[in-house]
Chains A and B, each alone.
Chain A
Amino acid sequence: MVTNVTSLTRSGLADFVVQRVTAVIMGLYTLCVVGFFYVTSDVDYTALRGYFGSFGMQTFTTLTVLSAAAHAWIGLWTVGTDYLRPHYVGRHAAAIRLTYQAGVLALLFFFVVWSLQLFWTL
């Protein structure tokens, strides 16, 4: 079996499952947050902080942030391996793709640390 060292799980089937499980988690989180803004007639600082600062939401936010990072990694990995190929970007495609993947990883890591710090200090 051919595996790719830069895919999230090194298995297309496992990536496929991770992509769907993380999608469901993020979908439910979106529903909750949209619901909060829908039922809260006047969203002010106290209401916003009370909502995101509750232990339940901090936990759900953490689960969603980690899901988003895994989901985005698989998605952007797919995009990179589709387009950053010799046919499109020339013979340095492998180097360009690895640089792109490193950039994506750095950005996602930054988002994870930033959001965990943000929501757990409420």
Chain B
Amino acid sequence: MKTERPVYLSLTQFAWPFTAIASITHRVTGVLLVLGVGFLLWLAAMALESSAGFAAAAATLAQPWAKPVLLATLAALFYHLFAGIKHIFMDFHIGDSFAAAKASSVVVFVLTFIATAAAGAWLW
């Protein structure tokens, strides 16, 4: 078999149906969560160390960059969780037609938006 067969993969020229956007978002949020969980662990380690550490964690969260980073982490978490639940339903062939998959992809984005908005309201 010829191993160097020509391959043409131009991501900008692919059709990107909504389900494909939902799928790549699931992957991207998964990769981002590795960093996000590191951030959460770092905050938790600080906050659980002592009451002075808890105050230091609170002071860190009061920095202008911190809450947006935390909210982005939570948004990635919510998306990855909701998309994962959708995935498990589809594993059981519930809603795995294209029409249903399109609809549930929209639902995952809407739920993520609602959960992230609620978390943002709680944080600020």
Contacts and interface: CB of A to CB of B under 8 A. Distances in A.
A118 B122 CA distance: 26
Interface string A95-119: 0000000000001000100110011
Contacts of A119: 48
Contact of A107 (B9, B27, B34, B85): B34
Contact of A111 (B27, B31, B41, B48): B41
A45 B37 contact: no
Contacts of A52: 44, 48
A30 B54 contact: no
Contacts of A45: 47, 50-51, 53-54
Interface in A1-60: 20, 23-24, 27, 30, 37, 44-45, 48-49, 52-53
Contact of A76 (B34, B37, B51): B34
Nearest to B115: A34
A6 B102 CA distance: 34
A72 B48 contact: no
A44 B84 CA distance: 32
29 contacts: A20-B91, A23-B88, A24-B88, A27-B81, A27-B85, A30-B81, A44-B51, A44-B54, A45-B50, A48-B47, A52-B48, A53-B48, A68-B37, A72-B30, A72-B33, A72-B34, A75-B27, A79-B27, A79-B30, A79-B31, A87-B9, A107-B34, A111-B38, A114-B41, A115-B41, A118-B41, A118-B48, A119-B48, A122-B48
Interface of B: 7, 9, 27, 30-31, 33-34, 37-38, 41, 44-45, 47-48, 50-51, 53-54, 77, 81, 84-85, 88, 91, 122
- Closest 8 A/B residue pairs (Cβ): A45-B54, A45-B51, A23-B84, A75-B30, A118-B45, A87-B7, A72-B34, A27-B81
